[in-house]
Amino acid sequence: MGHSAVVWDHRAAIEITKDWNGVDQVVLRNPHGASARVSLHGGQVTSWRNEQGEELLFTSTKAIFKPPKAMRGGIQICFPQFGNCGLLEQHGFARNKIWAIDDNPPPLHPNDSDGKSFIDLMLKPSEEDLKFWPHSFEFRLRVSLTADGDLTFISRVRNINGKPFSFSFAYHSYLSVSDISEVRIEGLETLDYLDNLCQRERFTEQGDAITFESEVDRIYLGSPKVIAVLDHEKKRTYVIKKEGLPDVVVWNPWEKKSKSMVDFGDEEYKQMLCVDGAAVERSITLKPGEEWMGRLELSVVPSSFCSDHFDIRRRDF
């Protein structure tokens, strides 16, 4: 993995190493042994471990760790589009680019720094990007690990163009689950969704919590700020809090699609679920000089704690 330089924050450490392709990656640690790894390839989080060292994000055993494509797993930044239309590549170019470490980001609230181990990254369009998407922007991404082991993201996109532009966005998050048939999502029931399996036709969710028994590829619209993904077998719950991101994409490829993906194992759909904080249905428009911010916070709590003490519908971010 090459040499490494250790820079100590007052309570936590940031370590910069090279990945298998010689691209810098940043390991964030908290004082209790939790960690997260962020690659400058795509600004992608490729690992998030709790204090016990358990991996909380899914990475395919068939993942291809070779630029320019993003590897299958972790958390990918989808920008300036989510999905596949026009000249841009599927889910936009941001996840396929090499980001830079941002040494001097514009200030954030002290709460976004205090007690956290974090890294600031930046993406600007290349000449090549401007051919396909002719809009100048600065994308600043902060990835943090809190003292409690939560993983948080702050994305700031600024228009430095002479004209307005629009984009869509998602934190494409591969959660690791014990068995997809034991998983349910709470917080999306009764919402409208666009079904990617039916040319984005609009439907309304009927049931209680969302469970899985076949391929799902949906964009839930106008979702609450907090949703929960309950894993019965593991007795743990992912709590997803978001701001500036009205939609939630839910994806599991199931059996047939899994077999068609070269970088995904035939049976791996059982161990993963993508639940993405996103802004897809209505694109975000920025006038010259304007900035958009989208936040995501992921935490993991024991499921018993969740059902006894934690009503997600009443919680605010």
| Contacts to ligand BG6 by CB under 6 A | 90-91, 172, 196, 217, 249, 251, 274
Q: Which one, of 242, 249, 248, 247, lies nearest residue 294 by Cα?
A: 242
Cβ atoms within 10 Å of 61's Cβ, excluding its own: 11
Rank residues 121 and 274 by Cβ distance to ligand BG6 and give the closer one. 274
Residue 90 CB, shortest distance to ligand BG6, in Å, is 4
- CB 182, min distance to ligand BG6, A: 22
Q: Shortest distance, CB of residue 170 to ligand BG6, whole angstroms?
A: 7
Minimum CB distance to ligand BG6 smaller for 146 or for 252: 252
Distances (CA, A) of 312 to 126, 172, 225, 230, 237: 41, 21, 9, 12, 11
Compare residues 27 and 249 and give the one whose CB is closer to ligand BG6: 249
Instruction: Name the minimum Å distance from CB 276 to ligand BG6.
Output: 6
Instruction: Quote the least distance from Cβ 274 to ligand BG6, whole Å.
Output: 5
Name 137's bridge partners: 159
Given a contact cutoff of 8 angstroms between Cβ atoms, the answer to whether 129 and 94 are in contact is no
Q: In what order do the strands lie in the sheet with 291-302?
A: 100-101, 117-123, 137-145, 151-159, 291-302, 236-243, 226-231, 183-186
* Closer by beta carbon to ligand BG6, 213 or else 316: 213
- Give the residue with the Cβ less far from ligand BG6, 90 or 307: 90
Q: How far is the CB of 79 from ligand BG6 (least distance, A)?
A: 13
- If the CB atoms of residues 56 and 78 are measured against ligand BG6, the closer one turns out to be 78
Check if the beta carbon of residue 240 is closer than 8 Å to that of residue 275.
yes
**In the complex, minimum distance from the CB of residue 76 to ligand BG6, in angstroms, rounded to a whole number:** 7
Can you say whether the dihedral through the CA atoms of 4, 126, 296, 214 is positive or negative?
negative
- Angle at CA of residue 83, ends 269 and 286, nearest 5°: 135
Closer CB to ligand BG6, 101 or 197, in the complex: 197
Q: Report the residue number whose CB is nearest to ligand BG6.
A: 251
Closest C-alpha among 89, 73, 154, 69 to residue 118: 154
